Amino acid sequence: MAPPLHDMTILITGATSGFGEAIARRLAADGARLIVTGRREDRLQRLVDDLRTPTLALAFDVRDREALEESLTDLPDEFSSVDALVANAGLALGLEPAHQASLADWETMIDTNCRALAHTVRAILPGMVERGRGHVVTIGSIAGDWPYPGGNVYGATKAFVKQFALGLRADLMGTGVRVTDLEPGMAETEFSQVRFHGDADKAKKVYQGVDPLTAADVADAVHWVLTRPPHVNVSRLELMPTAQAVTGATVFRRG
């Protein structure tokens, strides 16, 4: 049997909104000790005030390697043994074709979705290996497998997440540390508002006529993979709303 969540310390990055916030609330409901990170200190504090479980809030930008390492390598004793990492921090920016896309947006996605992810995992992983237990959950995307117009660098970063998680699995065999890449499809959070640089009307059109996944759906999936018995590793979990399917039918039609 898997250890109950109230015996676990779980680190969640990007916990100020969307998937990260929902994951924190879902795991807190089962009594897990939480470390929640994000850039927006006011939102982190509101989350901590709402949760009825021991919670440590760390406000920093995951792209800042020095701040990340300082925060995660000097944890208070109560939170120092991280049993699970949910590496959720990530974003998409822009939906322009590659020849028109913003280089600044590309760099931000690569820095957040790839470099910051690798730095976060590297900061936490040695302790897990030393203790002989742990679970790393990365938040990928179906965009890492299935391209779409305008998804260019975002999709490439999520392909990195998928391959990085698979590489971790290969490295960690025999250590007792598990790795899962969770790959959601269309989900309605602040994701599209961020992608369109705060344009709420444009973001809303993405979900018109569709019942998308919710942040709570993704949080339930994270809860499920974390509570499997220690001998079970869910390597990849893809989930989509019923209204979405990948058909390979993206074609260019003249006129």
Q: Which residues are catalytic?
A: 154
The H or E element containing residue 67 is helix 65-72
Q: Which amino acid is at 188?
A: E
Tell me the C-alpha distance between 105 and 101, whole Å: 8
Instruction: Work out the number of other CB atoms within 10 angstroms of the CB of residue 77.
Output: 6
Give phi and psi for 167, each to the nearest 5: -65, -40
The H-or-E segment that residue 110 falls in is: helix 103-110
Q: Both tokens of residue 145?
A: 């497998």
Backbone angles phi, psi at 241, to 5 degrees: -65, 155
Structure tokens at 166: 């698979």
Distance in angstroms (rounded) separating the CA atoms of residues 55 and 42:
15
